[in-house]
Amino acid sequence: MDASAPPPRLRLTGITKRYASVVANSGIDLSVGPGEIHALLGENGAGKSTLVKIIYGVVHPDEGEIAWEGRPVRIADPNAARALGIGMVFQHFSLFESLTVAENIALGLGAREGIGELTARIEEISRRYGLAVEPSRHVHHLSVGERQRVEIVRCLLQAPRLLIMDEPTSVLTPQEAEGLFDVLRRLASEGCSVLYISHKLEEIKALCEAATVLRGGRVVGGCDPRTSSEQQMAELMIGGELPVAHRRAPLKEGRASLIVANLSLPADEPFGTHLRDVSLTLRDGEILGVAGVAGNGQKELLAVLSGERRAPAADAVRIADVAAGLMGPAARRRLGLAFIPEERLGRGAVAEFPLTENALLTSYQHGLVRAGMVRFGAVEAYARQIIARFGVVAAGTQAQGSSLSGGNMQKFIVGREVGTNPRVLLAAHPTWGVDIGAALAIRQALMDLAAAGSGVLVVSEDLAELFEISDYISVLSGGRLSPPRRTHETTVEEVGLLMGGRMAGAARQHEARGVVDAA
């Protein structure tokens, strides 16, 4: 070793963390140099989130040492981490919904400056890095993608020397993600180290110069992503060959399972998006992908389809040929609707509930309750079935939702909704933040559900995902939905233009299938 070389920015030696009978991290060694962009890879539940929480002072290790720039340190809490120069963007947001963006950032930074001065800095950082954030907006009005931008901006305001990114692009568009990569490369060139967690291996190859792979809480290897293939990295993560998704046979046109007709709906909050003359037809056995940049009406569309908001008229939304626009969520579920929301905890599941009760939340109409009484044996069996089918890593069916990693909670929610064999499934960002093996399993489950005759509507900003599983693709932009196009008859470039708001010319004659042009 060159004695004149600077010490690593961060060195972990023998880091171990136990939770009751679970060993989250076991003897982990990791080194990140100055200006290095280092990937931390592993399946959901591999121990990545625990490890970075240790680095950020949220969790304390049971064993091992942390060295910062060559000297041993004890990181007592996040304030101590920030004082060293460590910043972190969490996968699950830590924002107060009733406060504005600027107020949340002020709390997170412990800023002593006035809100006006901080607002100006937020706007400057937002412009410099291309992360659109409105400081005066209340957080409860923001989409998931917009909340992610707030977390990133808050972190960049700290001018960190080590920046930890936990799934930062999960809800960013490809263009936004590339903009973030430019930011990270610039930070690295200025000497900032980056520890980067992502399940998107194409991102790892494009961005990172080193990778450490965890499996079962242990380091199982490392590689240079620039010279390793995505398949090699994936197989190192899962410890075997990568499963292959099986595409179903071409469809014969089925009956309409979901029809939206000329739906216009004003936003229910000041910064929301008005839906404008939205029409679509989803048929049995079909997957319709809806692409779009966050904040273009996805939240509003899903709310009115799921029943969280009522449509202006009953006929505006039809499920299984029943006018459902004025029905609530429970009534729509009785018609055969299931829903995977974009927010796992809070809307998709309750953190304090065990998995059995989380299974019961939306599936009680499917044989889990009889004569008003819960059939606890059936609920237990259903929860076990979900865990087994989707490989959910959990300490049994009584494990609390909060004890699962984000990806494992997502697998459980997907399994719960798919397991009801719905007539219509609405899926919002179904593979957000899950590892490559879990993403394949979820996509396969959606394709299998459609092959069995269900209509599946997938809202996603992951164009690769939509092109892989969808039969048709539409784009939601400014509250307007483009006419659907057969997936094999369009391109990522064409969809990207529509995502940018270029609806003009999108009304060329396609196979209309009864869909009204909303352009």
CATH for 250-336+422-519? 3.40.50.300
**Structure confidence at residue 513 as a pLDDT band (50, 70, 90):** very low
Read off the pLDDT of residues 125-139 as tens digits, 9 standing for 90 and up.
Answer: 888 877 788 999 999
pLDDT at position 343, please? 81
pLDDT at position 504, please? 40
Pick from 256-260, 277-281, 489-493, 497-501: least confident? 497-501
pLDDT at position 470, please? 94
Q: How large is the average pLDDT for residues 376-398? A: 90
Q: How large is the average pLDDT for residues 95-118? A: 86
- Rg of the Cα atoms in the chain: 23
* 8 A C-beta contact, residue 62 and residue 18: yes
Q: How large is the average pLDDT for residues 331-344? A: 92
For residue 106, what are its two tokens?
A: 């002020």
* 8 A C-beta contact, residue 262 and residue 428: no
CATH 3.40.50.300 residue ranges of the chain are: 10-238, 250-336+422-519
Cα 364 to Cα 213: distance, rounded to the nearest angstrom:
40
Residue 188 has pLDDT above 70, yes or no: yes
**Structure confidence at residue 243 as a pLDDT band (50, 70, 90):** low
CATH class of 10-238: alpha beta
pLDDT at position 497, please? 78
pLDDT at position 2, please? 57
**Which of 198, 206, 242 has the alpha carbon at shortest distance from 225?**
206
**Structure confidence at residue 219 as a pLDDT band (50, 70, 90):** very high
For residue 153, what are its two tokens?
A: 């901006």
How crowded is residue 269: how many other Cβ atoms within 10 Å of its Cβ?
Answer: 13
Read off the pLDDT of residues 305-315 as tens digits, 9 standing for 90 and up.
Answer: 999 999 999 99
Question: What ranges in 292-403 are assigned the alpha helix state H?
Answer: 298-306, 329-334, 355-363, 376-390
Q: How large is the average pLDDT for residues 458-470? A: 88
Q: Residue 459: which residues within 8 A CB-CB, separation 6 or more?
A: 290, 292, 298, 301, 302, 342, 426, 427, 428, 429, 476
pLDDT at position 518, please? 34
